[in-house]
């Protein structure tokens, strides 16, 4: 009976949203829905509140998960119990839903429960607090902005801008919906009488001049006798390491942008400057608003990229495996920053790409690489990130729901060797670039048999002083690796024998700027007995 109630709560949220009558932020904490800035492609962040005897681990992530899996209306079901905010992702009648669960300390949940009241936080754990915090923050934002309609219009505009410029993704290390709402709300407070067009312009002016890591706050940080930790850099050492603190206004006040790294902050500041320059031209009648919403040409911005290929035995396994890898991609950015002392910067792009011409279930993510600007390197300085990639892959392979066929490949590609499937209609490359890409793709198919761009075989040059040849003196016979082979290999011994931890050997030999003179070498792995 309890499980049917949980399932009923989930279905009620979907039905309400479909009728356009969803007004209860208790049932739908999605900042886009609550603030009415959602679009046709927006998903739903739904919150299910249950009594104390219905727990998250067993009742929600096991029993409810199995019940949803049997429903024909539910597709792409993906539980993420170990996330910072535990969530169950799925599609209901084609509508994407992120379902959260909060177990409060009541035996009966009243219909008129006000989760904005502090009493709802009594005797609950921190994951429950984080799950409840979404709708509590959304409610508080609407109370703190001077003009709700101007706030909504401005936020809708800037969310669209952030998506098209590639900086809308909390999981990748950029900003999500609540982050953008808080940034816009602060600008609305600073300019209470401004109309939306002026607020957009002032948004870029404010955040190009903002001295990070000074925090963005809508109200003073509130202390409470409940004792939950709040953001306090003087008291909490880990809070001092946050690069772009954006503090939530409801208790317990948290940094909503803890995922931001030095590299992703750099990218966002560059985009703020780009938007500010366009808005200045618009104010001088020298530009059009359409220029502000031109897509960011990510694959034209760098000369070196990391390509992360994700494969699985079928589409269902790929969905779960991809979700796990994507949630850990920001760790790769942090590790590269750590191991190169911030000298090698990463730009993770939040979009995923699929080569529809290939039969295997796979997708790919990309990261741009460049040397930190303004710092001159020593002659022949090297960035060796082979160990960094190995460490990242070892952590990825600790996935508790791993199944045969799941694997990940990290490789270096230069701009001219990018696979063709990353270029949408309207992007054109030179004939030379297309020729090189086809040659690289052919080499990769010979090596791994399924996914292009997953390995590169540069010629060994004696003139490269920093080259380290990690290939054996008598290499084993090259074998084409198929999905069936990966399925037949056990996780404990087989995947380590398919020596991609040895094969993914990245070495960046840089002289001067990485963009112009660096060489990142990848040696393909061999299948060993």
Per-residue pLDDT of the chain (529 residues; tens, 9 = 90+): 434 444 444 443 333 333 222 223 334 444 444 444 555 556 788 899 999 999 999 999 999 999 999 999 999 888 888 888 899 989 999 899 999 999 998 899 988 888 888 888 888 888 899 899 888 999 999 999 999 999 999 999 999 999 999 999 998 999 999 999 999 999 999 999 999 999 999 999 999 999 999 999 999 998 877 888 899 999 999 999 999 999 999 999 999 999 999 999 999 999 999 999 999 999 999 999 999 999 999 999 999 999 999 999 988 889 889 988 998 999 999 999 999 988 899 999 999 999 887 788 999 999 999 888 766 655 446 678 889 999 999 999 998 889 999 999 999 899 999 998 898 753 545 444 444 344 434 433 333 333 333 333 333 333 333 322 323 333 333 333 333 323 332 333 332 222 223 333 333 333 333 343 333 333 333 222 2
Give the burial class of 3: count Cβ atoms within 10 A of its Cβ; 0-12 exposed, 13-18 middle, 19 or more buried.
middle
**SS3 for 394?**
helix
Query: d(Cα 163, Cα 158) in Å, to the nearest integer?
Result: 9
Q: Tell me the angle at which helices 315-339 and 262-283 cross, rounded to the nearest 10 degrees.
A: 90
Query: Pick from 50, 42, 6, 2: which is nearest to 22 by CA?
Result: 42
Specify the DSSP element, H or E, that contains 28: none
Strands 519-523 and 505-509, bridge-based pairing:
antiparallel
Indicate the pTM of the whole model. 0.74
Task: Name beta bridge partners: 363.
Answer: 310
CB 54 within 8 A of CB 60: yes
CB 366 within 8 A of CB 308: yes
């Amino acid at each position: 009976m309890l499980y049917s109630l949980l399932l009923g709560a989930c279905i009620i949220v979907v039905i309400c949203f479909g009728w356009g009558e969803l007004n209860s932020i208790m049932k739908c904490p999605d900042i886009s829905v609550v603030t009415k800035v959602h679009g046709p492609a927006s998903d739903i962040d739904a919150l299910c509140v249950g009594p104390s005897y219905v727990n998250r681990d067993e009742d929600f992530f096991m029993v409810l998960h199995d019940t949803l899996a049997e429903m024909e209306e539910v597709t792409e079901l993906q539980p993420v119990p170990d996330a910072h905010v535990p969530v169950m992702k799925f599609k209901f009648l084609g509508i994407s839903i992120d379902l959260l669960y909060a177990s409060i300390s009541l035996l009966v949940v009243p219909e008129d429960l006000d989760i904005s009241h502090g009493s709802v936080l009594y005797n609950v754990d921190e994951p429950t607090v984080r799950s409840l915090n979404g709708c509590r923050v959304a409610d508080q934002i609407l109370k703190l902005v001077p003009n709700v309609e101007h706030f909504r219009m401005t936020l809708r505009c800037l969310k669209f801008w952030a998506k098209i410029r590639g900086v809308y993704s909390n999981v990748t290390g950029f900003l999500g919906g609540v982050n953008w709402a808080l940034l816009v709300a602060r600008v609305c407070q600073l300019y209470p009488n401004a109309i939306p067009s002026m607020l957009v312009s002032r948004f870029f002016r404010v955040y190009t001049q903002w001295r990070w890591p000074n925090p963005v706050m809508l109200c003073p940080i509130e202390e409470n006798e409940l004792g939950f930790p709040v953001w306090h850099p003087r008291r909490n050492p880990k809070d001092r390491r946050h690069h772009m603190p954006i503090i939530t206004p409801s208790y317990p006040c948290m940094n909503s942008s803890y995922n931001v790294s030095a590299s992703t902050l750099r990218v966002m500041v560059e985009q703020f400057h780009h938007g500010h320059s366009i808005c200045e031209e618009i104010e001088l009648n020298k530009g059009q608003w359409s220029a502000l919403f031109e897509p960011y040409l990510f694959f034209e911005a760098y000369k070196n990229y990391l390509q992360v290929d994700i494969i699985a035995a079928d589409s269902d396994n790929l969905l779960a495996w991809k979700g796990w890898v994507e949630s850990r991609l920001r760790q790769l950015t942090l590790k590269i920053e750590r191991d190169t002392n911030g000298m090698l910067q990463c730009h993770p792009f939040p979009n995923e790409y699929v080569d529809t011409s290939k039969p295997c279930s796979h997708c790919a993510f990309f990261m741009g690489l460049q040397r930190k600007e303004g710092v001159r390197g020593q002659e022949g300085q090297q960035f060796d990130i082979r160990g960094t990639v190995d460490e990242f892959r070892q952590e990825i392979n600790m996935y508790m729901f791993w199944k045969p066929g799941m694997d990940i490949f990290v490789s270096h590609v230069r701009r001219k060797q990018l696979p063709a499937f990353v270029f949408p209609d309207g992007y054109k490359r030179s004939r030379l670039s297309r020729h090189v890409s086809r040659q690289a793709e052919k080499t990769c198919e010979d090596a791994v048999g399924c996914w292009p761009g997953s390995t590169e075989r540069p010629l060994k040059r004696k003139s490269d002083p920093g080259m380290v040849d990690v290939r054996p003196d008598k290499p084993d016979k090259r074998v084409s690796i198929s999905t069936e082979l990966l399925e037949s290999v056990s996780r404990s011994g087989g995947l380590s024998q398919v020596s991609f931890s040895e094969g993914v050997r990245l070495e960046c030999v840089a002289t001067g700027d990485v963009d112009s003179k660096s060489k990142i070498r990848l040696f393909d792995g061999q299948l060993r007995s």
